[in-house]
Amino acid sequence: MKLLLLPGDGIGPEIMGATRTVLAAADRRYGLGLEMEEAAIGFDGLAASGTTIPDTVLAAARAADGIVLGPVSHNAYPPVAEGGRNPSGVLRVALDLFANIRPAVTRAVLPSPLGRPFDLVILRENTEGFYADRNMHAGPGEVMPDPDMALALRKITRRACARIADAAFRMAALRPARHVTAVHKANVLRLSDGLFLEECRKQAERHPDIAYDEVLVDAMAAHLVRAPDRYDVIVTTNMYGDILSDLAGELSGSLGLAASLNAGTDHAMAQAQHGSAPDIAGRDVANPAALIGSAAMLLDWLAERHDRRNMADAAAGIRASLEAALADPESRTPDLGGRAGTAAMARGIADSL
């Protein structure tokens, strides 16, 4: 089973090293047969090959069974014409990773700003929407007709809406609450969000045993703050999902805990929700929990795809060991009130495995 590890920028190499330590321990414990290969992207890729995501990396990603992507500082990259492409967006489009799955769950051992438990997951369409780096066949989705005017184009297709809606209902069928909420702004974006809702409603008709409702995106931002426990599976388009999932992750305790998986039909890529935090890079204080949790999600995806029970067992073992580390101030990082460094937290999780 081949995993491609792409450390990225800022704290990326540190939390990728921590994640590799945990994956290696899981490999030994559960006999996974992992082959882990690293490749340079981001500023390291730019320095080595003139681009932040070389074609060789794309080829390796297509050949791998799974990918683990570290955070990238794409906002600081040079223009695309000078090699500064966003590796995350490029990989999502190239591998057709249409579903960005972002759980948000509170933990009794860590404080939440809300002081109330909740367990929800946001499914965000990943390949189009307002994201200018991935919604056109050629050229960006933003143009400037003159120096004082900028236009952004939003692409919403029936195919993309149908498959993210289908993924949401399939996920809800596996969860106790069995509830899907579609988030939209169809009162203003009548055509594009209207198309999204059409496909969600079709899936609701096909799954009468799963509760279904619809909420405006601005109302959902308020509801998440007031009563996140009302929700189970939230499905939405790209930009709404990006914003709401960061809000939900922070409300659950910290973005440093926010795992995610980019999943398609043939490929999947683990990726923490948070950014590259260059201000703390190299200090051994970065929280690796989100990327470690994302790697566990990837193992679950591989378990289902390849019918590998030991992969599912390894994912469960990683999650249990991660929770144990988070429960102990001696084993978690300073951002969570702990006293362990990045590498020490990873070693503790690996030892627990």
Annotated catalytic residues are: 131, 185, 218, 242, 246
Q: Provide φ and ψ at 268, rounded to 5°.
A: -150, 150
Three-state DSSP at 139 gives coil
Total residue length of the chain:
353
Q: Residue 243: which residues within 8 A CB-CB, separation 6 or more?
A: 221
Three-state DSSP at 38 gives strand
Number of neighbours of residue 351 by Cβ within 10 angstroms? 12
Q: Strand order of the sheet with strand 66-69?
A: 35-38, 2-6, 66-69, 268-271, 261-263, 99-105, 119-125, 233-236, 179-184, 211-216
Q: Which two tokens stand for residue 124?
A: 């965000």
Q: Which two tokens stand for residue 352?
A: 């627990």
The count of C-alpha atoms lying within 13 angstroms of the C-alpha of 113, restricted to the half-sphere facing its C-beta, is 14
Q: In the chain, what are the helix, strand and coil shares in percent, each to the nearest 5?
A: 45, 15, 35
Q: Residue 335: which residues within 8 A CB-CB, separation 6 or more?
A: 254, 256, 285, 287
Q: Which two tokens stand for residue 89?
A: 């967006």
State the DSSP code for 84. Answer: -
CA 134 to CA 344: how far, in whole Å? 38
CA 323 to CA 314: how far, in whole Å? 14
CA neighbor of 252 nearest in space, from 109, 105, 102:
105
Q: Residue 198: which residues within 8 A CB-CB, separation 6 or more?
A: 158, 161
